[in-house]
Structure 1
């Protein structure tokens, strides 16, 4: 039996709605597969760092400068993201970023949290805490905010209150984030 004969046996409303329904389903499938945001591999922190990172995850804001939190896949207490365009990603508990070893990479001090920073090669920046018991890295892509350091103000209080400094004192990283 030919395809045309099979199609003609269907009721008219089904014949009329079938092509748009198939087109809509294909479009939805393509859109779902084009999330546009790559997955983020969560770090594998030590037991001590994992404890601080889980506390940080619970303390992070639901929104950063008007952008809702939309965590990456796979879900992990060691990664967080906010739906800026492109998205801002935070990781906690990974290895010490190499750029913290360069004394010229000292970044801003925000709400008593010192950050090292480096350009990411695409016009954005990577920030990392250097004097805390778990490394917190924030990736701020170009165009996500008016000022590349703006999201740090929304994140620093959570970092300060959940990830202690190595010596238990104030974050001297505000003077030297490379120690």
Structure 2
């Protein structure tokens, strides 16, 4: 009998370690590497900090993820499936009248399809520009802009950023 128990103990340790490793990789515990935009002017930084506090805990069914480095200018959901950066400089595409866009909850969004199948959205006509990158898998859920737009419309006033 001891012959059978000994191999089970030896196998149980690697199995337990593997389960712990999987638990450590669960989406709720993950981090997303998100580079903050270049340091914006102080007034824009304050708007972004206010937005950061109003961002939803879930977007498109994905839980909010810690960002590395931590910054009031960044947020992420589902690892790096959806990434937000507040205080980005005005994108040159906003000068193109033919560029596509959408309006969600009183927030105008520039719509830019990426080469990998994902999308980049940039809020416009606000005192701070906010960029949202969405991976290919979640790019089909336009509803994800609803919660983000609500936070922007609450914290970032209408107007034009000088940045």
Partner of 2:71: 76
What are the superposed Cα offsets for residues 58-103 of structure 1, whole Å, 9 maximum, x if unpaired? 000011132111032111010001117x610010001112221222
1:3-82 aligned within 5 A:
39-43=33-37, 44-82=39-77
CA–CA distance in 1 between the matches of 2:82 and 2:32? 12
Q: Is 1:137 aligned with 2:149?
A: no
CA–CA distance in 2 between the matches of 1:65 and 1:127? 15
CA–CA distance in 2 between the matches of 1:110 and 1:97? 19
CA–CA distance in 2 between the matches of 1:126 and 1:23? 41
Q: Is 1:110 aligned with 2:104?
A: yes
What are the superposed Cα offsets for residues 99-127 of structure 1, whole Å, 9 maximum, x if unpaired? 21222223110011111111111111101
- 8 Å CA contact 2:31–2:68 kept in 1: the answer is no
CA–CA distance in 2 between the matches of 1:162 and 1:132? 10
- 8 Å CA contact 1:71–1:79 kept in 2: the answer is no
TM-score normalized with structure 2 length: 0.76
Displacement of 1:53 after TM fit? 0.1
Structure with the higher strand share, 1 or 2: 2
Runs of 5+ consecutive residues of structure 1 not aligned to the other structure: 1-15, 168-179
1:146-157 aligned within 5 A:
146-147=140-141, 149-157=142-150
Pick the aligned partner of 1:164 from 151, 157, 161: 157
Q: Is 1:123 aligned with 2:125?
A: no
- 8 Å CA contact 1:52–1:162 kept in 2: the answer is yes
- Sort the Cα spacing of 1:151 and 1:69 in 2 relative to 1 into closer, same or farther, 3 A: same
TM-score normalized with structure 1 length: 0.70
